[in-house]
Structure 1
Amino acid sequence: MHSPDALLRRMFDAMVASAQPERCVAAQLPAPDTLRGGRVIVIGAGKASAAMAQAVESRWDGPLTGLVVTRHGYAAPCARIEIVEAAHPVPDEAGLRAARRMLDLVSGLRPEDTVLCLISGGGSALLPLPLDGLTLQDKQAVNRALLASGATISEMNCVRRHLSAIKGGRLAAACHPARVITLLMSDVPGDRPLDIASGPTCADPTTCADALDIAQRYGIALPEAALDALRSGRAESVKPGDPRLARAEIRMAATPQMALEAAAVARQAGYDAHILGDALEGEARDVGKVLAGIALQAAEREQPFRPPCVLLSGGETTVTVRGQGSGGRNVECLLSLALALRGHPRIHALMADTDGVDGAEDIAGARIGPQTLARAWALGIKPAQALADNDGHGFFKALGASIVTGATRTNVNDFRAILIDAKPGDPWPDVAQAPAPAFTQRT
């Protein structure tokens, strides 16, 4: 007999394992005979970048040197590539120093040299080099405001690119005239290279005007120096067609879709696995309601999928912070899902971030089952109030339902799995027609 919780966790672990750099980086490395015999320099940033550097070292026989910055606790031992740890999601001085050193490392390169750039999610905060005239404190304030605003990852990164001296193609431009090969591990909806770590090696078609519009749309009070840089056009990023990027190429090492396919191990346990999408976006609590509607339709109507089945999805939701809770987006989505499911007896779910960190907490996510709401009420915890306070982590910690992985050293975005068991002899009352159970009136 299967355990729904154990199966969901096996699926999450399979997704994380499939995106380990040791598995997916080697195939994207350039063949040695395609290089011109110059220096090989490795640079990079992100939660998976240290593990990517380790994978490069283990498969590269020739000489190389480099510098990679990753989140505290995500380092991997390397002999030839220096690993620096810095803060995430709010940048710090260590990340600033690493970004400056990285630009120095790639200055003065020759056409025969090759730069391997290892980029994964989290790189935006880990390479916080402010544009001239801005300070680290300015960047920290903008980053905090963006994280609380409800802006999409694409919108946040548009603002970040234009206030950076290293993102928005500027890092690749600094490597010119060397060849630049960027290996990406995608953590963004649509796998847009420009949005992964704010695109330090990608041309940027967005403009200063776009960044200003986003800040205005979400009521983000930018520092005066940032406003001046954007209004004057001084903050403009590197645009498509810039000759300094003529020898820059992008290679995708891992994506959420690849990882979701690996997570479909549910089929081995007799469940049909259906991928709803790898780029679901929107307010986390709204996405939770929508996913609940799909799950209930499958459970009670056998549409569009017949149980037993598992519904898989990825992407990056957003949270507009209104309360004082401890986040994050996966647990907010999951708590909203639980409230909308109303304790359905055949539905279980797990939502977690593949990097092991949901929001600012070192907790990947959480799981729910039919008794989640009842257990909370028995403990005097009000689920709806926890959701209103953006306190998903606090809610699931109290129930012992948090998913803690430690540093996974990878990052292919969020994992959402909803498991729907087959109907027993006595089906649950039709949720579209039957009155809600009494406990749904409690908050």
Structure 2
Amino acid sequence: MPDWTDAQARALLRSLFDEAVRVARPEAMLAAHLPPPPEGGRTLVLGAGKAGGAMVAALEAAWPAEAPLSGLVVTRYGHTPPGWAEHPHRVELVEAAHPVPDAAGQRAAERMLALTQGLTERDLVICLVSGGGSALLSLPMPGLTLADKQAVNRALLASGAPIGAMNTVRKHLSAIKGGRLAAACAPARVLSLLISDVPGDEPSVIASGPTVPDPSTCAEALALLDRHGIVLPAVALEALRSGAWETPKPGDACFARAEARVIAAPRQSLEAAAALARQQGLAVHVLSDEIEGESSEVGRVHAALARACRRHGQPFARPCLILSGGETTVTLPLPGSGQAPGRGGRATEFLLGTALALQGEPGIWALAGDTDGIDGVEDNAGAWVTPDTLARAAVAGVSAAEHLQRHDAYGFFGALGDLLVTGPTMTNVNDFRALLVV
């Protein structure tokens, strides 16, 4: 068994992350899902998400030049494709804030609803939906303000609630999500092309499902808010209790001509990375693309599995690669607790838990990153763990345990020079985690 150097291990893991991102980029697959232009009608493009810019660029490149095309897509600040502004485009692309919505996102949502006015059965609406779209399409229900939505969003992000639960709440407070955009587009044909960033790839959860039926209820949204101690304005409480803000449900006539296709998903990216690793002679084990839970705890479980492989050859013989995806969470201190959280996101907090559990176990390297290139709200995609992570931290006077306690994984890995910085990748299929055991 050849010895692995640190440089070789890092290079392998980085190549796997890059491959996972590559196969999820819109230019790799979007054109194959486009229908022909409608006869006698127009094509309207609407969209929201971190991949929105790359998706609309791929659509425009593939759409016939002579066929009518117009519309509006909103993406996150800094996620407009390079060179976009240098050429004229048929579909407008704007930017807004994520993960906490801002006025630019609200204006984009208002304009999208306005663009749906006058659609007929002859028309086609192509909706480009990807992760991040829920925050980017922020249109409060009547009686709510943007400040109300921002407060709820911040509380949800700090609560540790899984993405499905957060989006149940978001849908019922929104005038455009939870199927309401599809209702506004009827009677036109609606084709939604989705890049999934959620465990299970459920269309109604991706970006809070603006164009698909919503099986969740006002009562469920209220229960989730109560469970996490999140306070709503009186107008919202009354509307949820009465069911006045219920979303369109499966079987509603507004979805009669609506179709949703998931064109990129976490599992595809994990399998692409696995195939690349197998080409290099490694045994690969994909645990799941649907792993959820507290980030540091999930890291400890991954570490225990990797340690067992190295010490006992069970459940997997080494050398091997362990892959997983999904969306973990980080539960932050409650306001007023006196504890100010540090910097970092799901991927780096996962790795901090991993490093603490490994305790310098030799022969194990790990990389974790968010495939959109942004871990939380920071400038890194993720970070690395190496066999000497804790030893180097001790020399640098940095405590992994203290950084985890204050949720400052960014500060920990930044001090070691181990942050993974890619910039925006223009796609988003959620967390990518890889552990090499040799």
With normalisation by structure 2, the TM-score equals 0.94
Find the counterpart in structure 1 of residue 13 from structure 2: 8
**What is the Cα deviation at residue 39 of structure 1?**
0.4
**What is the Cα deviation at residue 302 of structure 1?**
1.0
* Matching of residue 270 in structure 1 with residue 281 in structure 2: yes
One-letter code aligned to 2:282? Y
Does structure 2 retain, via aligned residues, the 8 Å contact 1:172–1:248?
yes
**What is the Cα deviation at residue 344 of structure 1?**
0.8
Find the counterpart in structure 1 of residue 336 from structure 2: none
**What is the Cα deviation at residue 180 of structure 1?**
0.1
The one-character-per-residue Cα deviations of 1:77-114 (angstroms, maximum 9, x if unpaired) are: 26111000000000000000000000000122000100
**What is the Cα deviation at residue 268 of structure 1?**
2.4
Distance 1:96 1:225 in 2: 20
Find the counterpart in structure 2 of residue 209 from structure 1: 219
Distance 2:396 2:233 in 1: 45
Match of 2:315 among 280, 304, 311: 304
* Matching of residue 374 in structure 1 with residue 391 in structure 2: yes
**What is the Cα deviation at residue 309 of structure 1?**
0.8
**Identity rate of aligned residues, in percent?**
60
The one-character-per-residue Cα deviations of 1:34-90 (angstroms, maximum 9, x if unpaired) are: x34310010000000111001010000022001000000101326111000000000
**What is the Cα deviation at residue 186 of structure 1?**
0.2
Does 216-225 or 184-193 show the bigger shift?
A: 216-225
Match of 2:375 among 358, 361, 364: 358
Find the counterpart in structure 1 of residue 437 from structure 2: 420
**What is the Cα deviation at residue 119 of structure 1?**
0.1
**What is the Cα deviation at residue 274 of structure 1?**
1.2
Distance 1:290 1:239 in 2: 38
Distance 2:14 2:355 in 1: 18
Distance 1:271 1:37 in 2: 55
The one-character-per-residue Cα deviations of 1:322-348 (angstroms, maximum 9, x if unpaired) are: 351112111111100110011111000
* Matching of residue 384 in structure 1 with residue 384 in structure 2: no
Find the counterpart in structure 2 of residue 54 from structure 1: 57
Instruction: Indicate the SS of the match to 1:191.
Output: coil
Does structure 2 retain, via aligned residues, the 8 Å contact 1:356–1:363?
yes
**What is the Cα deviation at residue 252 of structure 1?**
1.2
Find the counterpart in structure 2 of residue 41 from structure 1: 44
**What is the Cα deviation at residue 269 of structure 1?**
2.3
**What is the Cα deviation at residue 225 of structure 1?**
2.7
Matches within 5 A, 1:189-228: 189-228=199-238
The one-character-per-residue Cα deviations of 1:14-39 (angstroms, maximum 9, x if unpaired) are: 1111111000111111134xx34310
**What is the Cα deviation at residue 245 of structure 1?**
1.1
Does structure 2 retain, via aligned residues, the 8 Å contact 1:74–1:407?
yes
Does structure 2 retain, via aligned residues, the 8 Å contact 1:278–1:313?
yes
RMSD (CA atoms): 1.1
Does 102-111 or 267-276 show the bigger shift?
A: 267-276
Distance 2:233 2:307 in 1: 47
* Matching of residue 121 in structure 1 with residue 131 in structure 2: yes
Find the counterpart in structure 2 of residue 329 from structure 1: 346
One-letter code aligned to 1:313? S
User: What residue ranges of structure 1 are gaps of 5+ in the alignment?
Assistant: 422-443
**What is the Cα deviation at residue 160 of structure 1?**
0.1
**What is the Cα deviation at residue 362 of structure 1?**
2.0
Distance 1:31 1:313 in 2: 37
Instruction: Indicate the SS of the match to 1:189.
Output: coil
* Matching of residue 134 in structure 1 with residue 144 in structure 2: yes
Instruction: Indicate the SS of the match to 1:190.
Output: coil
One-letter code aligned to 2:58? A
Match of 1:67 among 47, 69, 72: 72
With normalisation by structure 1, the TM-score equals 0.93
Find the counterpart in structure 1 of residue 297 from structure 2: 286
Find the counterpart in structure 1 of residue 26 from structure 2: 21
**What is the Cα deviation at residue 138 of structure 1?**
0.4
One-letter code aligned to 1:298? C
Distance 2:18 2:40 in 1: 40
Match of 1:229 among 239, 244, 256: 239
Instruction: Indicate the SS of the match to 2:41.
Output: coil
Does structure 2 retain, via aligned residues, the 8 Å contact 1:111–1:178?
yes
Does 128-137 or 22-31 show the bigger shift?
A: 22-31
**What is the Cα deviation at residue 297 of structure 1?**
1.2
Distance 2:307 2:40 in 1: 60
Match of 2:355 among 317, 324, 338: 338
Does structure 2 retain, via aligned residues, the 8 Å contact 1:330–1:351?
yes
One-letter code aligned to 2:292? E
Find the counterpart in structure 2 of residue 83 from structure 1: 93
Does structure 2 retain, via aligned residues, the 8 Å contact 1:270–1:308?
no
Distance 1:52 1:6 in 2: 29
Distance 2:216 2:9 in 1: 45
**What is the Cα deviation at residue 212 of structure 1?**
0.4
Distance 2:235 2:138 in 1: 16
**What is the Cα deviation at residue 235 of structure 1?**
1.4
The one-character-per-residue Cα deviations of 1:373-397 (angstroms, maximum 9, x if unpaired) are: 1111111111011111111111111
Distance 1:47 1:281 in 2: 21
Find the counterpart in structure 2 of residue 112 from structure 1: 122
One-letter code aligned to 1:195? V
Aligned length: 419
Distance 1:226 1:364 in 2: 36
Distance 2:9 2:244 in 1: 55
Distance 1:139 1:260 in 2: 34
Find the counterpart in structure 1 of residue 186 from structure 2: 176
Does 3-12 or 221-230 show the bigger shift?
A: 221-230
The one-character-per-residue Cα deviations of 1:210-233 (angstroms, maximum 9, x if unpaired) are: 000001111112232321221121
Distance 2:109 2:379 in 1: 24
Instruction: Indicate the SS of the match to 2:143.
Output: coil
Find the counterpart in structure 2 of residue 427 from structure 1: none
**What is the Cα deviation at residue 5 of structure 1?**
0.6
Instruction: Indicate the SS of the match to 2:326.
Output: coil
Distance 2:307 2:117 in 1: 57
Find the counterpart in structure 1 of residue 197 from structure 2: 187
User: What residue ranges of structure 2 are gaps of 5+ in the alignment?
Assistant: 334-338
Find the counterpart in structure 1 of residue 410 from structure 2: 393
**What is the Cα deviation at residue 301 of structure 1?**
1.3
Find the counterpart in structure 2 of residue 160 from structure 1: 170
Instruction: Indicate the SS of the match to 1:227.
Output: helix
